[in-house]
């Protein structure tokens, strides 16, 4: 089989969430948007449910509907994008909690689904989603009369603990929610690490559950193994791959492995990335193709069946860094082609 394997450790996911929960002053939710950061909504959500998670956040009503079908009741499913045109039936039928982020959404929700739970998203400076302070002041009385179940905002710079934006947003959030006796939420993974004054009633970790920065001391969640299709010997002066970008300086042994940029292994991943046989790292050579990568295995004294891209030696964060991106983007770019194996217990 030429298909690469992504092995996802559900026990590690459970333990990482448990750790984020124990770091949180009060309750912790789990963010499972974008197919649980690309790792599989069904398996991940069930594993977290077993671990005790009962509050989930997704990006869209469609994701929420899928999650409700997986979990059933009882669990709270919040939708970051709020109540969009066309979402009403999904919100109602799948019992979702939209996080209202504009006056327009507020009037839509109060008109069409007055009895359905909702939360409010405030903008404290990120200028991405949420009611502006002026809009909030103008609509506060009406909104509160409709009994929102959560007030939240989101930090723009929480992965930089010393950034002054953090304290500015915290102060804005405190001002905007002053004397309001409703459940509050501000912190994602980065915000949890900033300290308890950022935690309020509910934290919303995502990336830390999946074992990536800015979370520290978390368990690795993913392993990627790629089959070797062919091994060849080349002479000094021969080239490998599209565009002849690599010319061999000496006799070499080259393995062609069965994955490429269609599997989220970005062409920009650069010269730092290695493919591992046990503890030995072998460099990528030539351009990464859609489905194939050339690897210099001259240093190995075996003919490997497969090489590892992600393992204990080379983490998601390391690869993401090699590609000039972040773990979030690497994970959500993995693509559909991997054979996904789940270890540990989901249910």
Active site residues: 33, 242
30-31 and 55-58 beta bridge pairing = parallel
Residues 154, 184, 252, 274: which binds ligand PLP (CB under 6 A)? Answer: 154
Contacts of 233 (CB under 8 A, 6+ apart): 251, 252, 253, 254
At its nearest, how many Å lie between ligand PLP and the CB of residue 23?
Answer: 12
Q: Which of 204, 252, 274, 287 binds ligand PLP (CB under 6 A)?
A: 204
Distances (CA, A) of 282 to 64, 253, 278, 299, 308: 42, 11, 11, 8, 10
Which residue carries 């069965």 as its tokens?
258
- Tokens representing 227 are 């089959």
Write each residue from 14 to 53 as x if it is in contact with ligand PLP (CB under 6 A), else as -, in one continuous string: -----------------x-x--------------------
CB of 41 to ligand PLP, least distance (A): 14
329 HSE (CA, 13 A, CB side)? 12
Task: Give the integer Cα–Cα distance in Å for 254 and 285.
Answer: 9
Q: For CA atoms 189, 190, 194, 199, give the dihedral sign.
A: negative
Residue whose CB is less far from ligand PLP, 219 or 262: 219
| CB of 208 or CB of 286, closer to ligand PLP | 208
Contacting residue, 205, 281, 286, 304, with ligand PLP by CB under 6 A: 205
Position 184 contacts ligand PLP (CB under 6 A): no
How far apart are CB 302 and ligand PLP at their closest, in Å? 39
Contact map string, positions 243 to 282, toward ligand PLP, x by CB under 6 A = ----------------------------------------
Burial class for 209, CB neighbours closer than 10 Å (0-12, 13-18, 19+): buried
Nearest CA among 58, 42, 54, 47 for reference residue 15: 47
Q: Which residue sits closest to ligand PLP, CB atoms considered?
A: 206
Looking up tokens 């969009």 gives 84
Closer Cβ to ligand PLP, 84 or 231, answer by number: 84
Stretch that binds ligand PLP, among 8-16, 68-76, 161-169, 204-212 (CB under 6 A): 204-212
Cβ 141 to ligand PLP shortest distance, Å: 25
**Cβ proximity to ligand PLP, 208 vs 264, nearer residue:** 208
Tell me the closest approach of the beta carbon of residue 189 to ligand PLP, in angstroms: 3
**Close Cβ partners of 95 (under 8 Å, ≥ 6 residues apart):** 68, 73, 77, 116
**Interacting span for ligand PLP (CB under 6 A) from 82-90, 170-178, 198-206, 275-283:** 198-206
Chain residues that interact with ligand PLP, rule: CB under 6 A? 31, 33, 80, 154, 188-190, 204-208
């Amino acid at each position: 089989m030429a298909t690469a394997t992504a092995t996802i450790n559900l026990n590690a996911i459970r333990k990482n969430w448990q750790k984020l929960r124990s770091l949180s002053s009060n309750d912790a939710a789990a963010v499972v948007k974008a197919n649980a950061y690309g790792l599989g909504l069904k398996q991940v959500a069930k594993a977290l449910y077993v671990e005790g998670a009962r509050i989930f956040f997704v990006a869209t009503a469609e994701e929420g509907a899928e999650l409700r079908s997986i979990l059933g009741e009882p669990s709270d499913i919040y939708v970051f994008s709020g109540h969009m045109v066309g979402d009403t039936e999904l919100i109602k039928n799948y019992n979702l909690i939209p996080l209202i982020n504009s006056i327009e959404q507020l009037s839509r929700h109060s008109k069409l689904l007055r009895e359905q739970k909702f939360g409010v998203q405030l903008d404290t400076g990120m200028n991405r989603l949420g009611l502006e302070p002026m809009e909030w002041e103008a609509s506060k009385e009406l909104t509160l009369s409709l009994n929102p179940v959560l007030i939240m905002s989101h930090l723009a710079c929480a992965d930089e603990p010393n950034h002054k934006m953090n304290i500015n947003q915290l102060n804005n959030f405190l001002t905007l929610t002053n004397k309001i006796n409703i459940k509050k939420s501000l912190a994602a993974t980065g915000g949890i690490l900033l300290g308890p004054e950022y935690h309020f009633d509910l934290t919303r970790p995502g990336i830390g559950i999946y074992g990536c920065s800015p979370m520290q001391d978390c368990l690795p969640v993913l392993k990627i193994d790629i089959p070797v299709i062919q091994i060849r010997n080349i002479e000094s002066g021969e080239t490998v791959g599209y565009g002849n970008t690599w010319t061999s300086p000496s006799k070499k042994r080259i393995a062609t492995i069965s994955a490429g940029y269609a599997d989220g292994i970005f062409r920009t991943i650069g010269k730092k990335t290695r493919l591992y046989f046990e503890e030995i790292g072998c460099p990528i050579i030539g351009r990464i193709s859609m489905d194939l990568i050339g690897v210099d295995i001259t240093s190995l004294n075996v003919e490997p069946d497969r090489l590892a891209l992600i393992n204990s030696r080379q983490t998601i964060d390391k690869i993401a860094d090699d590609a000039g991106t972040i773990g979030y983007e690497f994970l959500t770019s993995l693509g559909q082609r991997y054979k996904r194996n789940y270890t540990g217990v989901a249910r």
